[in-house]
Amino acid sequence: MDHSNKTAVSEISKEQKEELISRALAKLPDAYAPYSHFHVAAALLCRDGEIYTGCNVENASYPAGICAERSAFSAAVSGGKRQFDAIAIAGGMDGKPQDYCAPCGICRQFMREFVHPDQFIILLAKSPSEYREYTLSQLLPESFGPENLGKA
């Protein structure tokens, strides 16, 4: 698949990863999850170095809620950003990230719209020093994206 419109990321340093994870962890108290009590937060690194954060926002009409990852992406895209290098995700019951919180399928597809699947880094974090690292391709193989509709 041709991803020529999405330029490759230059390497992200360990310090940048830790900073991104810290920003996600710091956002956890803002999660609005009165129904599931499962709090999730995300910090999205834009190509220009800016970081946007997001959290899950639930709703009494359950399907109307939004996940942390789409919240962060929506904030960044609304802020005019179009190029992204990495996202850190943290979540757990009552805001305690005791395990790694993987993005749901809808969020994986949502990210796919804006990133190079082989280059975009997804950090699943329990703490700044405890994290797992994936590319979007690893979490969403053989994906469908804008290029399939001639929107490269």
Residues classed as catalytic: 69
CA–CA separation, 105 and 107 (whole Å): 5
Q: Measured from the CB of residue 20, what is the shortest distance to ligand THU in angstroms?
A: 16
Residues touching ligand THU, count (CB under 6 A)? 13
Cβ closest to ligand THU, residue 107 vs residue 121? 107
Q: Is residue 6 within 8 Å of residue 83, measured between CB atoms?
A: yes
| Identity of the amino acid at 83 | Q
Q: Is residue 128 close enough to count as binding ligand THU by CB under 6 A?
A: no
Q: Measured from the CB of residue 120, what is the shortest distance to ligand THU in angstroms?
A: 15
| Identity of the amino acid at 3 | H
Cβ closest to ligand THU, residue 40 vs residue 76? 40
Cβ closest to ligand THU, residue 1 vs residue 94? 94
Q: Phi then psi for 112, rounded to 5 degrees? A: -55, -30
The radius of gyration of the chain from alpha carbons, rounded to an integer in Å, stands at 15
Q: Is residue 56 close enough to count as binding ligand THU by CB under 6 A?
A: yes
> What Å distances lie between residue 124 and 40, 134, 149, CA to CA?
11, 8, 30
Q: Measured from the CB of residue 145, what is the shortest distance to ligand THU in angstroms?
A: 19
Q: Is residue 33 close enough to count as binding ligand THU by CB under 6 A?
A: yes
Cβ closest to ligand THU, residue 3 vs residue 135? 135
Q: Is residue 95 close enough to count as binding ligand THU by CB under 6 A?
A: no
List CB contacts of 43: < 8 A, sequence separation 6 or more: 20, 21, 23, 24, 27, 51, 52, 53, 72, 87, 88
Residue ranges binding ligand THU (CB under 6 A):
33, 36, 38, 40, 56, 58, 65, 67-69, 103-104, 107
